[in-house]
Structure 1
Amino acid sequence: MSSYLELTARQRIPAIFDPGSFEEFLPPSERIASPHLAQLDAPVSFDDGVVVGRGLLGGHVVFGAAQEGGFMGGAVGEVHGAKLVGMLRRAIDEKAHAVLLLLESGGVRLHEANAGLIAVSEVMRAMLDARAAGIPVVAVVGGSNGCFGGMGISARCANVVIMSEEGRLAMSGPEVIETASGVEEFDSRDRALVWRTTGGKHRYLMGDCQMLVADDTAAFRAAALEAIGGIGNAGLTLEDLLAEQAMLTRRLADTEGLVEPMDVWRKLGVPDPASVPMLDADAFLQLAAPYRAGGQR
């Protein structure tokens, strides 16, 4: 087993794509770095924290990106976002088989403020444009920084979200919630609570991710192949939106007044919720199958 969590973005790409097939667009040798960070005398990265390009997955042409959590937590700035958008637009132009996004991000890069916010909105629009063009978009969340903020929203614009138990997905990160609302609202130091609330198992039960795998690169690759092969209509229809809204309405009604994820799991019907964090991926999936709040979109 090879841990996906422990790899860098540049190590994840060859672990997921067919060996030797990935061609990077705007590699570090091009030295395309954020101009905003340089003006602030902040460290820069010559790939601006994201790898984008085109390769083969199971022999099919798949465009892909991998965010580097080791550079500013994978946060999105103007250049970082532009690289993602450009990759998605090129995938549409070249009629790619699919797009695979290996996401690890704390959200928008605060150093770049509005430029980062605009970049994330353009990423979401490009993802939906790819889907409208019939190109499935699959998001993978399994890095140590999780997927938060604007990229947390972007992940949910994909056809399928694949997570590991170790991955985390949410709009606001634990530290942000604690800062804004106090430790009584959310104690970011309670790591067990953080993972119960934002981790892969909870997201799977709530219907926010469609596939959960062990922290293993081979498992993520197999799940990506399965997800891409199983997507029929990649586009987002009115029926899809209505179904999503109905699921969210049921979620609000079913979880009203509940503050502990284990109470939510109990409300869903999960037997012995306290045992859930200790289950491996296979045992958890077997347990969770009858109780999930949603499925593939």
Structure 2
Amino acid sequence: MSYLECNARERIAQVFDPGSFEEFLPPSLRIVSPHLAQLDAPVSFDDGVIVGRALLDGQLVLGAAQEGGFMGGAVGEVHGAKLVGMLERAVRERVHAVLLLLESGGVRLHEANAGLIAVSEVMRAILEVRSQGIPVVALIGGANGCFGGMGIAARCANAIVMSEEGRLAMSGPEVIETANGVEEFDSKDRALVWRTTGGKHRYLLGDCQRLVLDDVQAFRQAAIDVIREAQGQAELTRAELEDEHMMLATRLRDFGGIAEPLDVWKALGIPDPAAIPMLDAFEFTGLAHAYRKGVH
């Protein structure tokens, strides 16, 4: 089953152990955004995010799934509060891990200040969960990608699992084009968009730890694997943070003047960068393993 084509509830049903998901604040409670109602904008009774507890490979976890079909998964006050509450509950209940199925264009313009505050609280809560030794893993493979504040929040997790179809960045292509013009970034050039923000590029740069096929079961197995690997080392230490800063400084030094991802891949030493988009996930990861090491 295609992860890309599933909605949030379908992903939950397939990623977690069958029938194990227990939703907190379900749609029947009718907890909606007060800001959207005041603007006569459509509301969703789960406010575009589903949170709850479940089993993953028999282990108790908490999880959240953003619904890209409602405002592109954008974060508002209620949406963000549900994520924060779920993360805080993970600490209280001492669960095995937290799994975030992210699909978001960022913060809702309708409730921008509330959304920005909410995203900052999500980041703080993710790091608090990690400080308690509980791994946090993000899955990114939805049609809307993972942009804006949620893109930053994803990078606060222990690990990110992406498909080639997933996208991860601070600013979305349309936002960059609107702010700086089509000359800076042509959002209609889909090949360029995926070369720049897609899973393969993020894997090569070290921003995601697993690249999988666009298949729900592949995402599920990768989540199980990376959670197992992160047990006992979930907390973000100062040494790891310094390593991350060094990696980013090296990236800026080596690639800061390069505008085209193909040229970044060439600079990494990949012999035929133009072939990268045509490789499937297995072929690509086999090729990329040796070259992505130099990024860290």
* Mapped partners of 1:154, 1:257: distance in 2: 26
The equivalent residue for 2:91 is: 92
User: For residues 1-297 of structure 1, what are the structure 2 equivalents within 5 Å?
Assistant: 2-231=1-230, 232-293=232-293
* Mapped partners of 2:29, 2:95: distance in 1: 24
TM-superposed CA distance for 1:256, in Å, is 3.0
Stretches of structure 1 lacking an aligned partner (at least 5 in a row): none
1:227-283 residue CA offsets vs partner (Å, 9 max, x unmatched): 000113100101011100110011011113211100000000112000000000000
* Mapped partners of 2:63, 2:112: distance in 1: 26
CA contact (8 A) 1:33 1:45 kept: yes
1:111-164 residue CA offsets vs partner (Å, 9 max, x unmatched): 001000000000000000000011000000000000000000000000000000
* Mapped partners of 1:22, 1:60: distance in 2: 12
Q: Which amino acid aligns with 2:260?
A: E
Q: Which amino acid aligns with 2:28?
A: S
CA contact (8 A) 2:4 2:143 kept: yes
* Mapped partners of 1:294, 1:107: distance in 2: 31
3-state SS of the aligned residue for 2:188?
Answer: coil
Taking a change above 3 Å as real, the CA distance of residues 188 and 78 of structure 1, as seen in their structure-2 partners, is: same
CA contact (8 A) 1:206 1:294 kept: no
TM-superposed CA distance for 1:295, in Å, is 8.7
Taking a change above 3 Å as real, the CA distance of residues 293 and 253 of structure 1, as seen in their structure-2 partners, is: farther
Stretches of structure 2 lacking an aligned partner (at least 5 in a row): none
3-state SS of the aligned residue for 1:52?
Answer: strand
* Mapped partners of 2:35, 2:256: distance in 1: 43
Q: Which amino acid aligns with 1:251?
A: R
CA contact (8 A) 2:26 2:46 kept: yes
Q: Which amino acid aligns with 2:291?
A: Y
Q: What RMSD, in angstroms, separates the aligned Cα atoms of the two structures?
A: 1.0
1:212-234 residue CA offsets vs partner (Å, 9 max, x unmatched): 00000110000000000011310
Q: Which amino acid aligns with 2:271?
A: P
CA contact (8 A) 1:89 1:130 kept: yes
* Mapped partners of 1:182, 1:294: distance in 2: 33
* Mapped partners of 2:240, 2:40: distance in 1: 46
Q: Which amino acid aligns with 1:54?
A: R
Percent identity, aligned pairs only, is 74
* Mapped partners of 1:229, 1:49: distance in 2: 29
- Aligned residues between the structures: 295
3-state SS of the aligned residue for 2:233?
Answer: coil
* Mapped partners of 1:171, 1:216: distance in 2: 25
3-state SS of the aligned residue for 1:292?
Answer: helix
Range with greater deviation from structure 2 (64-73 or 245-254): 245-254
Report the TM-score when normalising by structure 1. Answer: 0.98
CA contact (8 A) 1:207 1:294 kept: no
1:83-117 residue CA offsets vs partner (Å, 9 max, x unmatched): 00000011110001000000000000110010000
* Mapped partners of 2:2, 2:36: distance in 1: 32
* Mapped partners of 2:270, 2:104: distance in 1: 31
1:7-33 residue CA offsets vs partner (Å, 9 max, x unmatched): 000000010000000000000000000
* Mapped partners of 2:264, 2:201: distance in 1: 9
* Mapped partners of 2:25, 2:170: distance in 1: 29
CA contact (8 A) 2:130 2:236 kept: yes
Provide runs of 4+ in structure 1 moved above 3 Å.
293-296
Q: Which amino acid aligns with 2:213?
A: A
* Mapped partners of 1:123, 1:281: distance in 2: 31
* Mapped partners of 2:257, 2:223: distance in 1: 36
